[in-house]
């Protein structure tokens, strides 16, 4: 073993001692809320399939039957052959983007291979060294990496503290050509929501651009599934609205909807778009199939919201710390090792729960992240509060 691998081994042991070592676990999806891991079956509380579409066997069967019936699957290859600026811009990609733009009543849309690709590509493409990016400090890692790659000055404001934005802009605005306000709509670890009308007010007052990552909003929020911006009535005021296809849409990829000039500029400047092979046509056909159904799934969206509200109430009744107002229900424990112990105890009870630890969340704020979807029932969730309370008590005395 050379010095390099010895150093990495030592770092891995340090992670293990801190309760922060992660490993990949093969998972088999059984449909609905169930998964199988190592021959055991669990209720899945760690996924992002918020509407239950990705694991709905009937919906998948309908997709294949419909697309085979109209002959589209027969011509859908499993690879797109190249980047989209070469020969990878297949007809399903162009059609999906047109349908997205129509759904959002916006001029254009652009599809990327993943939300991470999109966020690390857009901010560097759109900003210069004369610009300022002002972002919520709890923004996703992909946004943080995109800001790091940009040439702009980057400042963070305390989570959901819009008065802080105003103070920063009073000091900084005159020194910068453009200002980009960056926020998620639904925050992935706390499960809480941005005040989008207030962000729109600040955008207009200070002549800024509003960049909204709706990864955890599209599909699952808004009467038509267009996200929190639709729900809060500010859809037309978002300059760049980002959505993912890997969560409520039950597929893979991500998109931005915006004015045509913005999209055209990104086609020419966003490096992850320019230098990545396009998504397979069959994958994009699934996204088109799902997109047509998203506006019709209000009953599923309401069901998930009611389950989340009921679960939060049950957790609080047991004295457990939770927060947020979305279908992401965190349970704060604090210590990483104790959180890992609680998650393992819940798995022994048949619930697949993941311990969220640093660096994903700050030190001392490790938690369970309970991710609810429309395939779940209250009968499945009802025992959780009691089981978590018992597991936390045991962890505090044994870890």
264 burial (CB, 10 Å; 0-12 / 13-18 / 19+) is middle
CB proximity list for 71: less than 8 A, separation 6 or greater: none
Give the domain ranges of the chain: 20-51+297-398, 64-295
pLDDT of 78 reads 81
User: Do 64-295 and 20-51+297-398 fall under one CATH topology?
Assistant: no
Q: What is the pTM of this model?
A: 0.94
Q: Is residue 32 very low, low, confident or very high in pLDDT (cuts 50, 70, 90)? A: confident
Kindly tell me if the per-residue pLDDT of 384 is higher than 90: yes
> Which tokens sit at 163?
């008065």
pLDDT, one tens digit per residue, over 154-195 is 999 999 999 999 999 999 999 999 999 999 999 999 999 999
Q: Which CATH number fits domain 20-51+297-398: 3.90.1150.10, 3.40.50.740, 1.20.120.1200, 3.40.50.300?
A: 3.90.1150.10
Q: What is the pLDDT of residues 349-378, one digit of tens each?
A: 999 999 999 888 989 999 999 999 999 999
Beta carbons of 311 and 379 less than 8 angstroms apart? no
Single out the residue of 225, 228, 214, 220 nearest to residue 182, CA to CA.
214
Q: What is the largest CA-CA distance in the chain?
A: 62
Binning pLDDT at 50, 70 and 90, where does residue 73 land?
Answer: low
Query: How many angstroms separate the CA atoms of 295 and 230, rounded?
Result: 12
The top-level CATH class assigned to 64-295 is alpha beta
Nearest-angstrom CA–CA distance, 355 and 345: 11
Mean pLDDT (the chain) is 94
- Rounded to 10°, the helix 196-206/162-172 angle is 10
- Catalytic residue set: 48, 140, 184, 188, 213, 216, 247
Alpha carbon 351 to its chain centroid, in Å, reads 22
pLDDT digits (tens, 9 = 90+) for 75-108: 666 888 899 999 989 999 999 999 999 999 999 9
CA angle 92, 292, 58 (to 5 degrees): 100
246-298 pLDDT tens trace: 999 999 999 999 999 999 999 999 999 999 999 999 999 999 999 999 999 99
């Amino acid at each position: 073993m050379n010095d390099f691998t010895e150093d990495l081994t030592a770092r891995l042991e340090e992670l293990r001692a801190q309760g922060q070592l992660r490993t990949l676990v093969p998972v088999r999806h059984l449909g609905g809320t169930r998964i199988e891991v190592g021959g055991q079956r669990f209720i899945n509380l760690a996924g992002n399939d918020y509407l239950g579409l990705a694991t709905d066997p009937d919906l998948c069967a309908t997709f294949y039957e419909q697309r085979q019936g109209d002959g589209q699957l027969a011509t859908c290859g499993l690879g797109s052959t190249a980047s989209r600026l070469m020969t990878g811009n297949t007809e399903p990609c162009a059609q999906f983007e047109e349908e997205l733009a129509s759904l959002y009543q916006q001029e254009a849309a652009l599809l990327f291979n993943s939300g991470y690709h999109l966020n690390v590509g857009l901010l560097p493409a759109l900003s210069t060294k004369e610009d300022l990016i002002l972002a919520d400090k709890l923004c996703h890692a992909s946004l943080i990496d995109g800001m790091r790659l940009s040439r702009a000055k980057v400042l963070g404001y305390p989570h959901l503290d819009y008065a802080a934005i105003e103070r920063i802009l009073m000091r900084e605005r005159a020194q910068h050509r453009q200002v980009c306000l960056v926020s998620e709509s639904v925050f992935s670890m706390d499960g809480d929501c941005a005040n989008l009308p207030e962000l729109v007010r600040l955008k207009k007052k200070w002549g800024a651009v509003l960049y909204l990552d709706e990864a955890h909003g599209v599909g699952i929020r808004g009467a038509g599934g267009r996200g929190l911006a639709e729900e809060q009535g500010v859809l037309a005021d978002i300059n760049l609205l980002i959505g993912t296809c890997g969560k409520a849409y039950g597929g893979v990829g991500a998109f931005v909807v915006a004015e045509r000039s913005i999209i055209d500029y990104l086609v020419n400047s966003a490096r992850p778009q320019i230098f990545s092979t396009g998504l397979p046509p069959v994958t994009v056909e699934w996204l088109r199939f799902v997109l047509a159904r998203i506006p019709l799934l209000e009953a599923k969206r309401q069901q998930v919201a009611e389950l989340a509200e009921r679960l939060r109430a049950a957790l609080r009744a047991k004295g457990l710390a939770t927060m947020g107002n979305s279908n992401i229900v965190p349970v704060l424990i604090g210590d990483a090792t104790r959180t890992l112990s609680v998650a393992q105890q819940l798995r022994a009870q048949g619930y697949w729960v993941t311990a969220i630890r640093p660096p994903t969340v700050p030190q001392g704020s490790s938690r369970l992240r309970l991710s609810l979807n429309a395939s779940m029932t209250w009968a499945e969730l009802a025992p959780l509060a009691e089981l978590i309370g018992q597991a936390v008590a045991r962890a505090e005395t044994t870890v």
